[in-house]
Structure 1
Amino acid sequence: MNKDFEKRSYAFEISAEQNENEVGVVTGRPIVYDSKTDIGLFDEVIERGALDGADLRDVRFLVNHDISRIPLARSRNNNANSTMQLMPDEQGLAIRVNLDVKNNSEARNLYSAIERGDVSGMSFMFAVDSDEWTDLESEHPTRHVKKISNVVEVSAVTFPAYEDTEISVRNKQALENAKLALESAKRSKEETLDSALELEKAKFEAIMKVR
C-alpha cells in the first residue's frame, strides 16, 4: 500500500441488463491488455499477463472515482457472495456488477445512464510493481506496464478519454510521478551508455599499452 496509485480510463465495453430478481447487472472491462494509449507525456501499454499475481482481494465499484460516495458494489476475495465479480482473462480484466436498482437510487441512476449510453467508459485505480520504457530517445516514449501489484477500485466514468487537460486536473500527482519515472529511465539509459563507453575506452587503452 506504499506504492503510488494511478488511474487509467477506457471507452470500452460497458453494458446493462436486468435479471428476474430486479438487480441491474452491469458488465464491462476496465483493464485492457496490449492497447497502446497516449496519456500525454508518453504512450502506455499494459502488457498481457500484467495482472498475474495481482492483489484483487478487495475492490470497490464507484462512479467517477468518487470515494466520498458509498460504493455501489464490492468484490471481497472475489467470492460468490460479492456484489462484483472480477474475471481476469487473456484480454485483461472483465467485471460483472450487481446493482441494487430497487433500493438504491444512485445505483438506479447509473444503471439508467449506462443503458441509455450516457455513460460508456470504465476506469481503474492501480499500483505498478514493474515497468519498462522503450523509445526513450524520442519525444514520445512508451511505458510498458509489466506487472500490476494491486487494484483497489474500478469506476464507471463519464469522460473515459485520456485527454491531457483532463488528466492534468483529475490526476496531477500520478502524472507527475509518471514524469519522474520517465526522467529516471532516461538517466538510467544515459548512465548505462556512459559506462559502456568508459569500458570500451579502458579496453582500447589496455590494448595500446600491450602494443
Structure 2
Amino acid sequence: MGKKEIRFLPVEDIEVRSSGDEGSTTSTIAGYVVKFNQRSQLIWGEFYEKVAKGAFARSLAENVIKAFWNHRSDFVLGSTKNGTLRLWEDNTGLRFECDLPNSTWGKDAFESISRGDVDGVSFGFSVRQDSFTYLKEEDVYERTLIDIDLREISPTPFPAYPDSEVSQRSIDQLGITTKEQRKLEKEKLLLEIDLIGLC
C-alpha cells in the first residue's frame, strides 16, 4: 500500500441547502469529489493524472470514509458509518452529500461554503492500482488511478493539487523518469552516437 496522497479539485458548485423543523435544522453540502477521466494539472512538472470510472467502487463497499474540514481529523463533518456522509459513483464521477453537524465548525463550514470562500474538495487516498502512459508529443506521463483506497474527503479553501502529501522522493517509487533524466539519457545517447561516428 502506498503513502497517503491528497488531491484537490476545484468544483463547479458545492451545493448548499438547509431544511428542518422548528428548533432542528439540517445543513447539507453536496457536489462532486472528482470527475472521471478529466486530466489534472501537471503534478511536479512530470505527470498528469486522471481517475478511471470505478476507481472508488471497492472503497465505497469496504471502507468507513469520513468528511473532514480542511483535512483536520479533529473537525469531522460526516461519516459513511452513520450515514451523515453519502458517497456514490455515477457516470460523471464520485458524488457526495454531507449533513453537517450542529457544531461550531459545522456551522462555520456551511457559512464559508455558502459565501463561496471555500470552493473546492480534496480527497485523501492511497493507490491500490494505477498505470502510466508516456505521452511522447508532450514529453510527460499520464497516470490513471484505477483502484483508489479512499479514506477521507474535505471541503478546503486551498489547493493541495498539484502539491500533495507524497514527498518528491516518491516520484522515483512511481517508476517514471523525470524530464531531467530523459534529457540526460538523450544527451548521453547522442554523445555515444558521435563517438561511434569518430571510429
Calculate the TM-score normalised by the size of structure 1.
0.72
Partners of 1:10 and 1:123 within 8 A in 2 = yes
CA distance in 1, matches of 2:33, 2:172: 23
Identity %: 24
SS at match of 2:75: coil
| Residue 29 (structure 2) aligns with | 26
The residue number in structure 2 matching 1:91 is 92
1:119 is displaced (CA, Å) by: 0.4
Picking from 28, 37, 43, the partner of 2:48 is 43
Q: Is the 8 A contact 1:32 1:93 kept in 2?
A: yes
Alignment of 1:1-211 (within 5 A): 2-12=1-11, 13-20=13-20, 21-38=24-41, 39-40=43-44, 41-55=46-60, 56-67=62-73, 69-76=74-81, 81-101=82-102, 104-135=103-134, 139-148=139-148, 150-160=149-159, 162-163=161-162, 167=163, 171-173=165-167, 175-183=168-176
Indicate if the aligned counterparts of 2:6 and 2:161 stay in contact, CA closer than 8 A. Answer: no
Give the drift of 1:177. 2.0
Change (3 A) 1:178 1:136: farther
Unaligned residue ranges in structure 2 (runs of 5+): 179-199
Q: Give 1:146 deviation, angstroms.
A: 1.6
1:139-171 Cα deviation digits (max 9, x unpaired):
3211111222x21110001123635xxx1xx62
2:16 and 2:110 in contact (8 A); partners too: yes
Matched-pair contact (CA < 8 Å) for 1:49–1:90: no
Distance 1:24 1:179 in 2: 44
CA RMSD after TM alignment: 2.4
Q: Is the 8 A contact 2:56 2:150 kept in 1?
A: no
Letter in 2 for 1:36: R
Number of equivalenced pairs? 171
Q: Which amino acid aligns with 1:176?
A: R
Could you tell me which runs of 5 or more consecutive residues in structure 1 were left unpaired when the two chains were aligned: 186-211
TM-score normalised by L of structure 2: 0.76
Larger-Rg structure: 1
